Amino acid sequence: MWEEPCISGEHGSGTVFFSGCNMGCVFCQNKEISRGEVGKIIPTERLVEIFFELQEKGANNINLVTGDMFIPTIKTAIERAKSRNIKIPFLLNTSSYIEVDTLKMLDGLIDIYLPDFKYIREQDAVRYSKAKGYVDVAKAAIDEMIRQHPNCEFGSDNDEENLIKKGVVVRHLLMPGMLIQAKMIVRYLYDKYGDNIFISLMNQYTPNGQLQDYPEIDRKVSERDYKSLVEYAASIGVVNGYMQVGETAKESFIPSFDCSGV
């Protein structure tokens, strides 16, 4: 699973996946877990223990993936971990399809937000992710994240430098045939937030073999389109950003879920 260099570093990010998802992306690469087909029910205290186990293994941070439906439990677990002096930052890896009031519960607890901004066209959010109202919800959610962390802060840890300690890194996954929308998203983010955030442009879209009803997205993203997106971001002044290089649209970038470590 790919993470930005400021998150993964050399020692890696301590990723914790939560089963289930409040979106219904037809192209989901992790359907096994997002549909709740796998997973293990654990008490809150076990989650706290997992946080410390990941820290002991040298993880640079605790990376909470698709935890949007478990925020009350996550809040309690982080509060307990911080009361016991856990040292590494907490990161929320989210679709941005999350209410502002829910995010406010995490104010002072989540150190780094890693939101996706999937769509800026409502019709695509509905067609491909069954996410009615996504655009407005995501914009408001990202606003709240940046209210909590208006600037990115970096530091060193585990003998590594330039690791993010606080801030917001907004991701966008380029999808087939959606280059114009991707450029609109980059323009929106940069016009509104400038250099206060990092923008991460991803090209790892991988067809999942179940897109017969969506032939327009049943293919990988072309190198030409991705290059065009990256060049566009640079042309409007984006400096704080990440791009992917090499072959990322393949199944080796999709994790398996065997509940190991839980």
CA distances from 198 to 1, 170, 172, 233 (A): 19, 6, 11, 12
φ, ψ of residue 161 to 5 degrees: the values are -115, 165
Task: Flag whether 6 is marked binding.
Answer: no
Q: Are 55 and 81 in contact (CB under 8 A)?
A: no
Question: Nearest-CA neighbor of 251 among 12, 29, 20?
Answer: 29
Based on C-alpha coordinates, what's the Rg of the chain? 18
Q: 3-class DSSP state for residue 143?
A: helix
The C-alpha angle with vertex 17 and arms to 12 and 23, in degrees rounded to 5, equals 125
Q: Which residues of 80-102 are buried (b: 16+ CB within 10 A; e: fewer)?
A: bbeeeebebbbbbbbbbbbeeeb
Task: Flag whether 28 is marked binding.
Answer: yes
- Say if residue 123 is exposed, middle or buried (CB neighbours under 10 Å; 0-12, 13-18, 19+): exposed
Task: Flag whether 21 is marked binding.
Answer: yes
Question: Nearest-CA neighbor of 89 among 173, 13, 165?
Answer: 165
Binding-site members for [4Fe-4S] cluster are 21, 25, 28
Binding-site members are 21, 25, 28
